[in-house]
Amino acid sequence: MCEKFTVCQNSMEMLLRNNLNLPKVTEEDGDFLTFLSFQDKCLRKISSGLYTFQTYLKYIQETFTSENQNVESLSYSTEHLARTIRQMVINPEEVIIPDAATQESLHTKLKSTKAWTEKITIHLILRDFTSFMEKTVRAVRYLKNTRSFSV
């Protein structure tokens, strides 16, 4: 991203003004040392976050056209993981899946960004998605070692 658009070195102030409200897994969702008592809450949060990221990934796919195939594959895999984790939740109905109106509103907001901000927005989305996935992997790995299930 930095090499392709040269936005990273000169755009620290843009990175600090991240107002995208991207999904995150926080300590409140259960840290990994006391994860057992928070595992269902954490799984709900992860699944909901993955569903929310779908709209952001759709935006990247439409905007970052040179990587369309990679982003499409990433989006498909993210949706599959969201469904899989949702099935592990005690009450899958409690997983928040953004409705069509919410997705459309967010998509419209993202599409209204100026061209130079577009690159920063893509960078922020990918950075936060990476962080979210790192925490997701740790949580699933921990669950795999403490519960009998397969992902």
* pLDDT above 90 coverage of the chain, percent: 37
Query: What angle is formed at CA 93 by the lines to CA 100 and CA 125, rounded to 5 degrees?
Result: 50
Q: Which pLDDT value is given to residue 149?
A: 52
Please report which residue ranges of 17-114 form alpha helices under DSSP H: 35-63, 68-88, 100-111
CA atoms lying within 13 Å on the CB side of residue 79:
12
Task: Output the pTM of the full model.
Answer: 0.75
Domains of the chain (ranges, CATH numbers): 33-148 (1.20.1250.10)
Say whether pLDDT at 8 is over 60.
Answer: no
Model pLDDT, residue 2: 54
Question: Lowest-confidence range among 30-39, 48-57, 95-104, 120-129?
Answer: 30-39
Q: What's the confidence (pLDDT) of residue 35? A: 46
